[in-house]
Structure 1
Amino acid sequence: MSQPPFIRPEYERALPPLRDITVDEVLPLSRRLWNQTWLRKGVVVLLVLALWEAAARYQQNDLMLPGVLDTLHAFIDDMRSGELPEKIVNSLSTLLKGYLIGSVLALVASALAITTRFGRDLLSTLTAMLNPLPAIALLPLALLWFGLGNVSLVFVLVHSVMWPIALNTWSGFSSVPETLRMAGRNYGLSGPRYVMTILIPASLPSILSGLKIGWAFAWRTLIAAELVFGASSGEGGLGWYIFQSRNELFTDRVFAGLATVIIIGLLVEGVVFSTLEKATVKRWGMQR
């Protein structure tokens, strides 16, 4: 006869009451502060500024390397005079036009590539041909075709934005699980509805990554184009401000313009895209 299975008897174990534990008792103040991302990044920025000021004091030549305080004074003076805000508005207005147009074209090209074989061949061929081509190299042709105006800058920006966004979007579309694709087809979705309802939400992390890369490409392309192109229709941007300050040997204003470019890049990265990610992919558990 087989032995019956052993059954462990049930019992209750009395546990001591859990006392209230505050966060102060778990982690010390220094550890809790160091866990703040903004504080760690602020420490990095302060270290960079300290090294900059130390190098300027060692150099002792304001024409070659102005210090942090000299750059700050130039930045405040030009902000008060209205010259620097005007340049910022001119640059951002041109940038937004090229960025929006390039993003829409990239989304359309990626949607066409994921739904048709011809679109896939077209996108892969064009990206292999045009993506390695520096956008600034097209500026002479843009000036020849469109003349001296914002249209030339927008054309160059569209080229710099479109291909990285298209590649990331296409990669995101291709990585959508087949289960989601079949669910969309079972609901009778096709064409634009299939792309908007199934593909875009499922591949949103890749799309946001492409948008960030496209923004970085567009921002540096615009500054470089303005340095070469100069003023557009009598209105120059930050690149023209930096170039003009260099010609007049106002090195502190050159550094003020460069600092403005960096600050705008940090604000867009840390506020716009970070907020968008927290409201979408991080909230949905698609990204840590």
Structure 2
Amino acid sequence: MAEIATARALPLGRLNQFLARLPGRRLIILAGLALLWEGYARWLDNSLLLPTLGATLGALFDGIASGELPDRTLTSLQVLLSGYALGILFAAILTGLAALSRWGSEALGLLTSMFNPLPAIALLPVALLWFGVGQPSLIFVIVHSVLWPVALACHAGFRAVPPTLRMAGRNMGVSGGRFVVEILAPAAFPQILSGLRIGWAFAWRTLIAAELVFGVSARSGGLGWYIYVNRAQLETPSVFAGLLTVIIIGLVIEGLLFRTLAKITVNRWGQEQS
């Protein structure tokens, strides 16, 4: 029986090794999803509910050729980067204070308990009252969506730093802001990077949702507004082209920014396996 089990395990092991060596495994998975989409859309045969991948790509190329889709995307990315950067800045300040003071730690714990469960999109009506219709309102809700998950991840990473490393830093005379930057931040960088990824995802989907629900104006609206307008006009291929653009941007940011950052930091340092 053992010989039979071993004989069965060998082909499976070789198959796994072969699959592991295949280049572009993510591309293969994406190709499979694309075929599934195309096949189901053709079987459904209702372009108002689900256009084919070919029709969606055609609408995507038309939107790019007209210049409308790149303009809308650029508008969204500008707002996103502004809110994301401010959210990271505020999170760094809060977690730095929490790492250096018990009062700061208690304040951060209380604030995250109060505001982290609050959906960012729920604050948009308040933001519209405070800042009016425009990009400042969108930046406000993006900051809220980024601040708390990034602060929680950074604070958890700081608390997980071994006491011996803390003592070594203290013995070398490192204190205050230098202690956070030179000792805590490098040791907690895997958790910080994870928080940055989560914050990016929260910011991106919050922005698209805010533009879908409220928009800003027909002239300055972003990618979510593009999706909303085409949905109202029953241009379903263009709606899916906008959604596909959201997905593509997410894949590009994850693949080019965060994976590259992980390779040159935590993977090289041996803190995390690739």
Aligned partners of 1:146, 1:37: CA distance in 2, in Å? 52
SS in 2 for 1:188: coil
Counterpart of 1:103? 88
1:24-103 matches, cutoff 5 A:
34-36=19-21, 39-103=24-88
Counterpart of 1:184? 169
Amino acid aligned to 2:112: T
Contact 1:62/1:251 (<8 A) preserved = yes
The superposition leaves residues 38-89 of structure 1 with CA deviations (integer Å, 9 ceiling, x where unpaired) of 5322222122111211111112121221100000100011111111110110
SS in 2 for 1:172: helix
Contact 2:72/2:222 (<8 A) preserved = yes
Matched, 1:218 2:203: yes
Counterpart of 1:260? 245
The percent identity for this pair of structures is 55
1:168-183 matches, cutoff 5 A:
168-183=153-168
**1:184 Cα deviation (Å)?**
1.1
Task: Look at both structures and tell me which one has the larger radius of gyration over its CA atoms.
Answer: 1
**1:36 Cα deviation (Å)?**
4.7
Aligned partners of 1:253, 1:37: CA distance in 2, in Å? 34
Matched, 1:228 2:209: no
Aligned partners of 2:130, 2:225: CA distance in 1, in Å? 22
CA distance 1:47–1:174, shift in 2 (3 Å): same
Aligned partners of 1:159, 1:142: CA distance in 2, in Å? 11
Aligned partners of 1:31, 1:215: CA distance in 2, in Å? 33
The superposition leaves residues 84-114 of structure 1 with CA deviations (integer Å, 9 ceiling, x where unpaired) of 1101100000000000000111111111111
Matched, 1:138 2:123: yes
**1:234 Cα deviation (Å)?**
2.7
Aligned partners of 2:30, 2:193: CA distance in 1, in Å? 26
Name structure 1 gaps, 5 residues minimum.
1-26
Amino acid aligned to 2:99: I
CA distance 1:233–1:251, shift in 2 (3 Å): closer
Contact 1:149/1:233 (<8 A) preserved = no
Aligned partners of 1:232, 1:59: CA distance in 2, in Å? 35
Number of aligned residues: 261
TM-score calculated relative to the size of structure 2: 0.91
**1:232 Cα deviation (Å)?**
4.5
Aligned partners of 1:234, 1:46: CA distance in 2, in Å? 36
Contact 1:53/1:68 (<8 A) preserved = yes
The superposition leaves residues 109-132 of structure 1 with CA deviations (integer Å, 9 ceiling, x where unpaired) of 111111101111100001011100
**1:168 Cα deviation (Å)?**
0.4
Aligned partners of 1:130, 1:110: CA distance in 2, in Å? 15
Matched, 1:275 2:260: yes
Aligned partners of 2:251, 2:98: CA distance in 1, in Å? 33
CA distance 1:44–1:276, shift in 2 (3 Å): same
SS in 2 for 1:283: helix
Q: More helix by proportion, 1 or 2?
A: 2
Counterpart of 2:109? 124
